[in-house]
Chains A and B, each alone.
Chain A
Amino acid sequence: MTKTNLACCLLLATLLLSGCANTQPNFSQLLAARTNCVDEFDQYSYINFDEDGQVKAMLGSQESQCGAFSWGATFVLPIVLPASEQDYQLVIDSFVGIDSILSPMALFLNEQYQPVAQVGTEQFGYSNRRYRAVINVNSREREHFRYLLLTTDPKALGKENELVAITQFITPIVVPVGPIMYTFNIASSDSNIGSIANVEGGQVKVKMLTYQPEVVDL
Chain B
Amino acid sequence: MGKLFVLLAVVFLGGCAGMPKPQHFNPEKNQHLKHITIIEPAQQEEVPVRIQTHAGQSFGLLGALIAEADMASDTSTFNEAVGETMPDWQQAIVTALKASLEKEGYQVSSIITDRKRENGYLVSYKDLVDQNTDAILDLNYYLAYLAAGMESDFIPNLIGQVRLIDTQNKAVVFQNRFFFGFPPSEYDIEADHILSDKQYAYNTIELLAASPEQAIDGLEEGVQKFAEKVAQKLAKQPNAQVEQIVE
Contacts and interface: CB of A to CB of B under 8 A. Distances in A.
Interface residues of B, number: 80
A184 B188 contact: yes
13 contacts: A87-B26, A116-B244, A117-B243, A117-B245, A124-B240, A135-B239, A172-B185, A183-B12, A183-B187, A185-B182, A189-B198, A214-B171, A215-B171
Contact of A127 (B17, B21, B28, B193): B193
A184 B29 contact: no
Interface string A174-198: 1101111111111111101100000
A14 interface: no
B241 A1 contact: no
A5 B58 contact: yes
B146 A128 contact: no
Contacts of A1: 53, 55, 58, 149
A16 interface: yes
Contact of B18 (A119, A171, A179, A188): A179
A179 to B, nearest CB: 5
Contact of B53 (A127, A175, A186): A186
Contacts, number: 216
A188 B125 CA distance: 41
A97 B158 CA distance: 26
B152 A188 contact: yes
Contacts of B195: 163-165, 193
Given A175-B159, A216-B172, A181 B14 contact: yes
Interface of A: 1-2, 4-5, 8, 12, 16, 87, 89, 91, 93, 108, 114-120, 123-125, 127-130, 133-136, 138, 141, 163-165, 167, 170-175, 177-190, 192-193, 209, 211, 213-218
Contacts of B61: none
